[in-house]
Amino acid sequence: MTAPLLELRNLSTHYVSASGTRVVRAVDDVSLTMNARDTLGIVGESGSGKSTLALTMLRVLPPAARIVGGQMLLEGEDLVAKSEEEMRKVRGKRIAMILQDPMASLNPLFSIGDQVGEPLRQHEGASRASAWKKAIGLLKAVRIPAPESRVTQYPHEMSGGMRQRIVGAIGISCEPRLLIADEPTTSLDLTIQAQYLNLLRDLQQDYGLGLIFITHNLGIVAKMCNLLAVMYAGRVVESGPVSTVFNAPAHPYTAALLHSIPRMTERRERLSAIDGQPPDMSALPKGCAFAARCPRVFDRCRQEEPPVFTPSPGQTARCWLAEGTR
Amino acid sequence: MRQFIARRFGYSLLSLLLLSLTIFLFIRLTGDPTSLLTEPGATEADIAAVQQKFGLDKPIWVQYAYFMGSLIKGDLGESFYYQTPVLELYLSRLPNSLMLATVAMAFSLVLGIPTGILAAVKVGRFWDSAGKLFALLGLSLPSFLVGLLMILFFSVYLEWLPSSGSGTFLHLLMPAFALGWYFAAAHMRLTRSSMLEVMGSEYIKLARLKGLTETRVIVKHAFKNALIPVVTLAGINMINMINVAVVVETVFAWPGIGRLLYEGINFRDFPVVQGVVIIGGSMIVVVNLLVDVLYALIDPRIRLEK
Amino acid sequence: MRALRSVRAWLRDAPAIPFLILGLIAFAAVFADFLAPHDPQFGKLSERFLPPFWIERGSTAHIFGTDHLGRDVLSRLIFGARVSMVVGFTAVIVSGVVGTTLGIVSGYLGSWADQIIMRVTDAWLALPALTFAIFLAAIVGPSEMNIVIILAAVYWTRYARIVRGEVLSLKEREFVRLAIVAGCSKWTIMRRHILPNVINSSIVLATLMLGIVIVTEASLSFLGVGVPPPKPAWGVMLADGKQGLMVGHWWLTVMPGTCIMLMVLAANLLGDWLRVKLDPQLRQL
């Protein structure tokens, strides 16, 4: 049996304040597995740690953040153990990432061709001319019309949807094994969103990518993903195949999220159907972090932290309600 | 665009007008402009000639018309001491001042930009603290003090460099450093903050995500963007340097415009003092105008405005 | 009692070094008559160019040595502190009051008052500060009083610019609109509602300007258009000391130079601290 594309084992990333007194467990004891051609959706409210998890996978963290434990196995190789230089050779080459804000992701001073071809020059030692030629091909792959003239232009000459495609082209330039997209469509309007999602799915088919979608939009998950992980207060509270989790959510938080999916009839912009606020990440309560907002809370939840249970094959849940289902 | 430039041009004209009015009124404020505008020990005839020329016996607004009239003709009066027109004198010293300012600017950029980048890249660590200390010292050590201490060390103690005068490149080193010192600190501060802003941007994050080496991220992607505000400031500071140089040029007896101003004070040569102030102020108004117009040409938001 | 406690709490994180330096200089300035061992303005010509006491030929009678007229350097430094303190603080206060007042009037009244004040501010800001100060000094002649007026005339524009900007945004705030609706007169609003909200910025700016003002005063004195010579100002001492520099009388330059540097350094440190302390926008960072 070959190693899965990506396997996270008990991964933890903490933010430590300058004085060292406040610790925020932005990513806490996260375990996940996915194979090539899988599409994993990571869902949670803002501040739940999903973006930090993405940055952890590429080890591009802000100075205050540290990976404090766990393993990240990419095709069997532990990325946590790699040196900074070895890790650099993974970025853009084997794992690529599309950032939240495509408008700000392109450097205003360099041409599109330069920026799209840059990973090729860095990782594959391509010459300026051949990187340029490949950049034209990549722009064609992300369906930008007239790529030959577009490569010579600069970011400010492009529309938002166009720039988002260019960021996508940069992501796939070295044909990575895994592409992480961090809320890639939040700044786009609805029709362009749909086009872009279709494009990403087609790219996944063509290149055989593993795709990770970071989003707070369960609608996108339903449309795009076959796997789902729900994060709350830095932890994966539930994970599993999308069909299983959607039909039988084991965690009350997941259930509440599913309940709040925007329907065609009533459009809601945010996941706000759950009463209460997310907890203060630097001072988590004893027991389950969701206890204060949970509709089905009981005494044990406030005393003991729930471990990981397996309600059905491939599904995990950190909730006492799932105890004994195994 | 055209409207913007026209408005900006109008403001500049107004500034120049107010500038001349300020200078004109200050001279009359003390009560007796005749004593300022005539040579010490001037004859009755000389005094009468000056009163005639500036219309000092006429009402004040007529006097202002006389004053502006001669300014527009480029007539800034004649130096008592040198017996030559002030404008000519100014222009003859300008090359020296420009040379000093150019080398001082080079010093300040060579010193300020790398330290600013280093401080930003190593933010919060040793080099950042060292940079902060450097910036604080730069702002706290007046340039004439730096000059005097350098003379003490390099001319008196080590006997390496000439303490005053001009002629060779060695003469230029100390005054240029003393003048560039303060600006180096200013350029360092701006480079650091501008670099920090760029380093926090999304395109730097993406450059890292591409797997570029850190050197390449900083040199190619960050540096060029961070440099834009620094270059703008340096351009404006170039003019400031020519004007601020008075103490440094005095310390090192460097024959530039600052030295001319110092001579003007010491020889009670009022036309020279007045001329230097008028030209200095006008230069800054004009340069500010040029910078704004240049920005309008570069920035599409202003350029495309109707 | 409570007021005292809150002042103490407020000062708890105050940086020690600038307060110590400024306190020492202020102490020297106030008690100069008692502290100075010799007359700062007269010396024996027989005791010219004595070096500091730790160097050969120096004596403990003149621990920092003597100058070209045999005057005691330490005594001149102590009296020089008085000049720097008086000139520095008065100039900063006068320019601060004038600039803040005009800034408030300009920002709040708007229309023609704003146009006039801001155009004058623009024109004056265009004049290089030191050149402008020298020009004014050449007109009015040197004296301590004139220096204060000159420095105030040169630097009030900085306050006016910044205060006006703040007033413009304050004007749109609820409590000012409420005061307008309540029928307060313009002057009452400016005094009771606007002024307390911009005073912090003015104080921070004043502290930062203190260093600049002291350097400018020293520069003017050094050039001979500042404090007139027999008076012991640090800038004058530097100008006198420059004559002896080439023959190695270093203490005449280094001593007053160090004093200027320390005072400016203290003012800058204090200003940086106050900026973070008083400026709510910066404090959030």
pLDDT in tens, A155-196: 888 888 888 888 888 888 888 889 998 877 766 677 777 888
Closest chain B residue to the Cα of C218, Cα to Cα:
B142
pLDDT score of C239: 83
CA distance B99 to B110: 17
Residue type at A250 in one-letter notation: A
Contact check, Cβ <8 Å, C250/B251 = no
> Would you call B224 an interface residue with chain A, using a CB distance cutoff of 8 Å?
yes
pLDDT in tens, B104-139: 999 999 988 988 888 888 877 788 888 888 888 888
Instruction: Return all residues near C91 (Cβ < 8 A) that are at least 6 apart.
Output: C147, C148, C151, C152, C155, C213, C217
Q: Could you tell me the pLDDT band of residue C285, with boundaries at 50, 70 and 90?
A: very low
pLDDT score of C22: 87
Other CB atoms within 10 Å distance of the CB of residue B154: 18
The three-state secondary structure class of B251 is helix
Touch of B by C (3+ CB pairs closer than 8 Å):
yes
Q: Is it the case that residue C19 has pLDDT exceeding 70?
A: yes
Other CB atoms within 10 Å distance of the CB of residue C87: 26
State the Cα torsion A171-A176-A182-A183 to the nearest 10°.
Answer: 70
* Sole residue written with tokens 């000139």: C87
Number of Cβ pairs closer than 8 Å across B and C?
Answer: 135
Residues of B in contact with C121 (CB under 8 A): none
Contact check, Cβ <8 Å, C126/B281 = yes
CA distance B228 to B222: 11
pLDDT in tens, B178-199: 888 888 988 898 888 888 888 8
Q: Could you tell me if residue B55 is inside a domain? A: no
Using alpha carbons, list the distances in angstroms from residue C83 to A23, A128, A135, C56, C97: 52, 66, 69, 32, 21
Please state, for a pLDDT cut of 90, what percent of chain C lies above it.
8
> Would you call B22 an interface residue with chain C, using a CB distance cutoff of 8 Å?
yes
Residues of A in contact with B221 (CB under 8 A): 107, 110
- The C-alpha R_g of chain B, in whole angstroms, comes to 24
Q: Could you tell me the pLDDT band of residue B301, with boundaries at 50, 70 and 90?
A: low
> Would you call A176 an interface residue with chain B, using a CB distance cutoff of 8 Å?
no
CA distance A158 to chain B (A): 14
The three-state secondary structure class of A232 is strand
Long-range contacts of B101-104 (CB under 8 A, 24+ apart): B101/B179, B101/B238, B101/B241, B101/B242, B101/B245, B102/B238, B103/B172, B103/B173, B103/B176, B103/B180, B104/B175, B104/B176, B104/B177, B104/B179, B104/B180, B104/B183, B104/B241, B104/B245
Residues of C in contact with B30 (CB under 8 A): 139-140
> Would you call B149 an interface residue with chain C, using a CB distance cutoff of 8 Å?
yes
pLDDT score of C95: 94
pLDDT score of C243: 80
Residues of B in contact with C257 (CB under 8 A): 145, 148-149
CA distance A60 to chain B (A): 7
CA distance B297 to chain C (A): 23
> Would you call A58 an interface residue with chain B, using a CB distance cutoff of 8 Å?
yes
Q: Is it the case that residue B222 has pLDDT exceeding 50?
A: yes
The strand pair at A178-182 and A210-215 is best described as parallel
Listed residue (A227, A235, A280) closest to A253, CA to CA: A235
> Would you call A91 an interface residue with chain B, using a CB distance cutoff of 8 Å?
yes
Contact check, Cβ <8 Å, A99/B205 = yes
The minimal CB distance from C126 to the residues B142, B276, B285 is found for B285
Q: Could you tell me if residue B283 is inside a domain? A: no
* CATH code at position B114: 1.10.3720.10
Q: Could you tell me if residue B86 is inside a domain? A: no
Out of A235-239, A321-325, B152-156, C237-241, give the one with best mean pLDDT: A235-239
* Class in CATH terms, C15-38+47-283: mainly alpha
| Element counts in chain A: helices (H) and strands (E) | 12, 12
Q: How many domains does chain B have?
A: 1
The C-side interface with B (CB below 8 A) comprises 119-120, 122-124, 126-128, 130-132, 134-140, 211, 215, 218-219, 222-225, 238, 241-242, 245-246, 248, 250, 253-254, 257, 260-261, 264-265, 268-269
Q: Could you tell me the pLDDT band of residue B306, with boundaries at 50, 70 and 90?
A: very low
Burial C106-119 (b: 16+ CB within 10 A, else e): bbbeeeeebeebbe
Number of Cβ pairs closer than 8 Å across A and B?
Answer: 64
Instruction: Return all residues near A223 (Cβ < 8 A) that are at least 6 apart.
Output: A197
Q: Average the pLDDT over C113-122 and give the result.
A: 86
The three-state secondary structure class of C56 is coil
- The domain locations on chain C are 15-38+47-283
CA distance B207 to A138: 18
Q: Average the pLDDT over B233-241 and give the result.
A: 82
Q: Is it the case that residue B296 has pLDDT exceeding 80?
A: no
Residues of A in contact with B202 (CB under 8 A): 99-101, 104-105
Q: Is it the case that residue A216 has pLDDT exceeding 50?
A: yes
Contact check, Cβ <8 Å, B300/A107 = no
DSSP code of residue C62: B
Contact indicator for A154, A111 with CB cutoff of 8 Å:
yes
pLDDT in tens, A108-148: 888 888 898 888 888 888 888 888 888 998 888 888 888 88
- Which class for A36: exposed (0-12), middle (13-18), buried (19 or more C-beta within 10 A)? middle
Contact check, Cβ <8 Å, B209/A91 = yes
Q: Could you tell me the pLDDT band of residue B298, with boundaries at 50, 70 and 90?
A: low
Residue type at A273 in one-letter notation: A
CA distance A89 to chain B (A): 6
pLDDT score of C196: 86
pLDDT score of C6: 63
Listed residue (B166, B180, B167, B136) closest to B259, CA to CA: B166
Listed residue (A204, A206, A28, A182) closest to A105, CA to CA: A182
Residue of C84, C121, C136, C139 for testing the chain B interface, max B β-carbons within 10 Å: C139
pLDDT score of B291: 78
Q: Could you tell me if residue B257 is inside a domain? A: yes
> Would you call B274 an interface residue with chain C, using a CB distance cutoff of 8 Å?
yes
B93 vs A2, more confident: B93
Average pLDDT, chain B: 82
Q: Is it the case that residue C90 has pLDDT exceeding 90?
A: yes
Q: Is it the case that residue A270 has pLDDT exceeding 70?
A: no
Contact check, Cβ <8 Å, C219/B280 = no
pLDDT score of A234: 87
Residue B132's Cα: distance from chain center in Å? 24
- For the record, the structure tokens of B52 come out as 């005639």
pLDDT score of C279: 63
Using alpha carbons, list the distances in angstroms from residue C14 to B149, C148, C270, C271: 32, 29, 9, 11
Q: Is it the case that residue B72 has pLDDT exceeding 50?
A: yes
Contact indicator for C195, C104 with CB cutoff of 8 Å:
yes
DSSP code of residue A4: P
Contact indicator for B217, A119 with CB cutoff of 8 Å:
no
Average pLDDT, chain C: 82
Q: Which domain holds residue B137?
A: 94-266
> Would you call A19 an interface residue with chain B, using a CB distance cutoff of 8 Å?
no
Instruction: Return all residues near B303 (Cβ < 8 A) that are at least 6 apart.
Output: B1, B296, B297
Phi-psi category of residue B22: left, alpha or beta, with phi > 0 → left and psi -120 to 50 → alpha: alpha
Edge-to-edge strand list for the sheet holding A315-317: A95-98, A178-182, A210-215, A39-43, A227-232, A235-241, A315-317, A309-312
Q: Is it the case that residue A264 has pLDDT exceeding 50?
A: no
CA distance B133 to C268: 12
Q: Could you tell me if residue B273 is inside a domain? A: no
Q: Where are the beta strands (DSSP E) in chain A?
A: 6-16, 23-34, 39-43, 65-74, 77-78, 95-98, 178-182, 210-215, 227-232, 235-241, 309-312, 315-317
Q: Is it the case that residue C253 has pLDDT exceeding 80?
A: yes
Residues of C in contact with B250 (CB under 8 A): 222-223
Contact residues, B window 99-138, toward A, CB-based 8 Å cutoff? 123-124
| Residue A97 bridge partners (DSSP) | A180
pLDDT score of B302: 54
The strand pair at A65-74 and A77-78 is best described as antiparallel
Average pLDDT, chain A: 84
B97 vs A190, more confident: B97
Contact check, Cβ <8 Å, C127/B136 = no
Contact check, Cβ <8 Å, A122/B212 = yes
Contact check, Cβ <8 Å, C238/B144 = yes
Contact indicator for A13, A67 with CB cutoff of 8 Å:
yes
Interior angle at CA A274, CA A268 and CA A275, nearest 5? 120
pLDDT in tens, A18-41: 666 778 888 888 999 998 888 999
Residue of B194, B208, B209 for testing the chain A interface, max A β-carbons within 10 Å: B209
Residue of B265, B266, B276, B289 for testing the chain C interface, max C β-carbons within 10 Å: B265
Q: Could you tell me the pLDDT band of residue C282, with boundaries at 50, 70 and 90?
A: very low
The three-state secondary structure class of C37 is coil
Q: Average the pLDDT over A241-249 and give the result.
A: 89
The strand pair at A235-241 and A227-232 is best described as antiparallel
